[in-house]
A = this chain, B = another copy of it.
Amino acid sequence: MSKPRPLSGFPEFLPAQRSVEVEVLRTLSRTFELHGFTGIETRAVEPMDQLLRKGDTSKEVYVLKRLQDTEAGKDAGMGLHFDLTVPFARYVLENAGKLEFPFRRYQIQKVWRGERPQEGRFREFTQADIDIVGQGELPFHHDVEVTRVMLEALSQLTFLPGFRLQVNNRKLLQGFYVGLELADTDEAMRLVDKLDKLPEEKVREMLVAEAGLSDEQADKVLGLARICTPDDSFVEQVRALGVEHELLTQGLDELAALMRACQDIVTDTVRIEADLKIARGLDYYTGTVFETRLDGYESLGSICSGGRYDALATDGRTTYPGVGISLGVSRVLVPLLSKGHLVADRQVPSAVLVALTDEESRAGSTAVATALRTRGVPCEVAATASKFGKQIRFAERRGIPYVWFTQADGSHQVKDIRSGDQVAADPATWTPPTEDLRPQVVTHIPQKEIQ
């Protein structure tokens, strides 16, 4: 077999890169579980009719067929899921009788999209979703809850750059547009969503030409979109635009409550903004909406998005409202890892290499390793009884911080090969500092990361 080449759009990690991903996923899971979120997994496939319900993504689905069915062009009627929301909604309906509501779940899985690979877009990637789902109703305080949980989860990833969670509320937008008497509020929302990519002047033209807004209406719509505050002071600014509507008031109240309830966890690196241009155009959100920007990596787009659905799922009789947020784990990690901005300080979990004097003493070295492992110290025994200098270089190449030697008289020494310090040690009691037990993530993020 000749040397295989990577498949475009299907990123894979080397061991030290994967260590970073594992650290991220463990931190996320731990935070989600601390907040009572249950981890579930759904199968990778869904029936095609489920996947095609959201019209605009249908072209991106990978359809499965069994190899022996090739000739007939027959497929299995199933495709790979392209997000974790569609399978979760199906899981909730399928198991509604066996779940307790409100149901908090987190789900960290790969998803697949058959789209053309490009910077920041993958065909296989990992998402980490949290959602809270109610049966019939779901009080607004759960919107605050998912916001706080994701803020906390992201802030635990201390090796990542800072970030900015941008929050808005669809009721606020919808109420403002209805209050302004816009003919087509959906179209206006879709165009405002383009402020990310297009200059304001261009969006104004489209609002007038495509959505039929008057100049005055366009001014107000863009005035609203310009409002962005780190606290609840946006309310006053919106009120100053002089538009009135009951739904607008509801949206303002909700967003203000959310902003106030999150102030205690804001820091220099963990920020939240009421950003009134955020609309999440094509998705079916009905209240709170989220996007998130990573400092210095704004070109990645939103790395963490979501919102409130009044009907995450429905079986016709019961409706299941939900609020959730989805972190694009691969979207963040693949660029940072492939540029070397993040890396782990070792390629293996081992904190200790137990050196081998000769092949006959392998059982003795294995016994040392076994003793260390009982206290949770990951270690490996040297593969061959080469010269100690060579065994130390072997450890160095892998980033293993300690090498353990058993002397001829049966006494033991352990060497920190970073400092060169070597001390007497007892396999029954010695433990390295906690930070050496697991690979550490090292950041090499340029001061001015320009993408």
Contact call A124/B43, Cβ cutoff below 8 A: yes
Contacts of A42 in B (CB 8 A): 12
Contact call A36/B349, Cβ cutoff below 8 A: yes
Contacts of A33 in B (CB 8 A): 349, 378
Q: How far is the CB of A257 from chain B (nearest CB, A)?
A: 11
What CA separation (Å) do A331 and B166 show in the bound complex? 44
Residue A423 interfacial (CB < 8 Å)? no
Contacts of A369 in B (CB 8 A): 35
Contacts of A63 in B (CB 8 A): 64-67, 70
Contact call B139/A93, Cβ cutoff below 8 A: no
In the complex, which of the residues B15, B41, B124 contacts A13, with contact meaning CB atoms closer than 8 Å? B41
Contact call A47/B7, Cβ cutoff below 8 A: yes
Contact call B1/A314, Cβ cutoff below 8 A: yes
What CA separation (Å) do A10 and B7 show in the bound complex? 27
Contacts of A99 in B (CB 8 A): 14-15
Residue A417 interfacial (CB < 8 Å)? no
Contact call A50/B4, Cβ cutoff below 8 A: yes
Residue A18 interfacial (CB < 8 Å)? yes
Nearest neighbor of A313 in chain B, beta-carbon distance: B1
Residue A242 interfacial (CB < 8 Å)? no
Q: Which of A14, A36, A76, A139 has the most CB of B within 10 A?
A: A36
Size category of the A interface is 35 or more
Q: How many copies does the complex hold?
A: 2
As a 0/1 sequence over residues 32 to 52 of chain A, the CB contacts with chain B under 8 angstroms (1 = contact) are 011111111111110100100
What CA separation (Å) do A124 and B37 show in the bound complex? 25
Residue A383 interfacial (CB < 8 Å)? yes
Contacts of A95 in B (CB 8 A): 14
Residue A420 interfacial (CB < 8 Å)? no
Contacts of A44 in B (CB 8 A): 44, 110, 112, 124
In the complex, which of the residues B59, B61, B65, B104 contacts A62, with contact meaning CB atoms closer than 8 Å? B65
Contact call A67/B61, Cβ cutoff below 8 A: yes
In the complex, which of the residues B2, B12, B94 contacts A5, with contact meaning CB atoms closer than 8 Å? B94
Chain A interface residues (CB < 8 Å from chain B): 1-7, 10-15, 18-19, 22, 33-45, 47, 50, 58-68, 70, 73, 75-76, 78-80, 90-91, 93-96, 98-100, 102, 104-105, 110, 112, 114, 124, 139, 141-142, 261, 313-316, 347-350, 359, 362-363, 369, 373, 376-380, 383-384, 394, 397-398
